[in-house]
Amino acid sequence: MKEYSYLYKQELLENVIPFWMNHSKDEECGGYFTCLDRSGKVFDRDKFIWLQGREVWMFSSLYHQVENKKEWKEMAIHGAEFLSEYGRDQDGSFYFSLTRDGKPLIQPYNIFSDCFAAMGLGALYKIHPEPKYAQIARDTFYNILKRKNNPKGKYLKNVAGTRALKSFALPMILSNLSLELEHIIGNEVVDALAQKLVREIIDDFYHEEWGVLLENVNMDGRFNDSFEGRLINPGHGLEAMWFLMDLAERLGDENIVKKAVAIALNTLEKGWDQKYGGIFYFMDVLGHPTQQLEWDQKLWWVHLEALVCMAKAYRLTGNKECANWFRKIHLYTWEKFRDSEYGEWFGYLNRRGEVLLPNKGGKWKGCFHVPRGLYQIWKCLAVPADVSVESVIK
């Protein structure tokens, strides 16, 4: 498996990051363009806050963890200044999107803009300790916790009291965000939150009967037989399991690692398209039709997160099944998503694995899952796997 490490490093530094450096920076108004066609030409100029925060995080992390390149640091600061000046409403919540020049466009109807803005500014503070970045990241993190039980607030469409469900997305992202902000919020906060998040994910969203994680459950963790309650998102499950492995290393708990690996393998077995290859986007745990018409599409981030998950699982356990899955997903992903002509990767394929949309970015795809995944796999596989979980954790 170590032979893959250089390949992923090379792809990150020579193909993917140059694409974003060359095409995404808005020199006139600040921030980043994310709606880029196949060659990098801008086709829409709206600024989506969660993608702005993700790109700040990416370039800050490259500077901090790979090399102190001046242009990477400048790129991160460029996006952070736009975020800090225009991104929030009067209550401190981050909007979903802005116009090119920073005018509010879509209200802060959920907290994922907040999560990635905090994550980006927190990462930048490590390499550029400007107090305002830490303050905004800290304030935003605690604002997220306040909104945890009602993330959408007044923008919630459901009638209160009829079918109260809780979503897997929030504990999933908090398990990663808390680690990312530990240098700002402190290790005691992370310790306390990590234990709660691990228990909530495993006790409430994981169901032994099916061996996978559900996207929505009743408030007490019970199964809800509805479109929302039956929904599986294999990509979310796999991404969350490598978050859980990171938490397990942080907590020194090998049992969490073993549980996360077992759930990840079950998710791949259920989520892999046996006819055309690749991982389904959405599934119904009981096999019914989903309400998401795009259920059978093959998406870039799902496959990147699956690769990261299997790489980490193999490093921590030496499990050959994880190595075999990594190789299988690697072959599919590099053949179908990578664009050797213009750089970066395609985001959307149809079920047969044909390019559905040739653009490299948009409202949902930016400078994040591809480069983060490449970085994680490069570093993870540079370390030989050990058959003893204890030796890695301890």
**What pLDDT, in 10s, does the model give residues 89-137?**
999 999 999 999 999 999 999 899 999 999 999 999 999 999 999 999 9
Lowest-pLDDT range of 32-36, 302-306, 379-383: 379-383
Decide if pLDDT at 387 tops 60: no
Decide if pLDDT at 150 tops 80: no
CATH number for the segment(s) 4-393 = 1.50.10.10
pLDDT tier at 155, thresholds 50, 70, 90: confident
Output 315 or 110, whichever has higher pLDDT. Answer: 315
| Contact call for residues 120 and 141 (beta carbons, < 8 A) | no
pLDDT tier at 384, thresholds 50, 70, 90: low
Decide if pLDDT at 55 tops 60: yes
Query: What's the pLDDT at 156?
Result: 78
pLDDT tens-digit series, residues 181-208: 999 999 999 999 999 999 999 999 999 9
- Map out the domains of the chain as residue ranges: 4-393
Decide if pLDDT at 391 tops 70: no
Query: What's the pLDDT at 29?
Result: 98
pLDDT tier at 153, thresholds 50, 70, 90: confident
Decide if pLDDT at 369 tops 60: yes
Query: What's the pLDDT at 148?
Result: 79
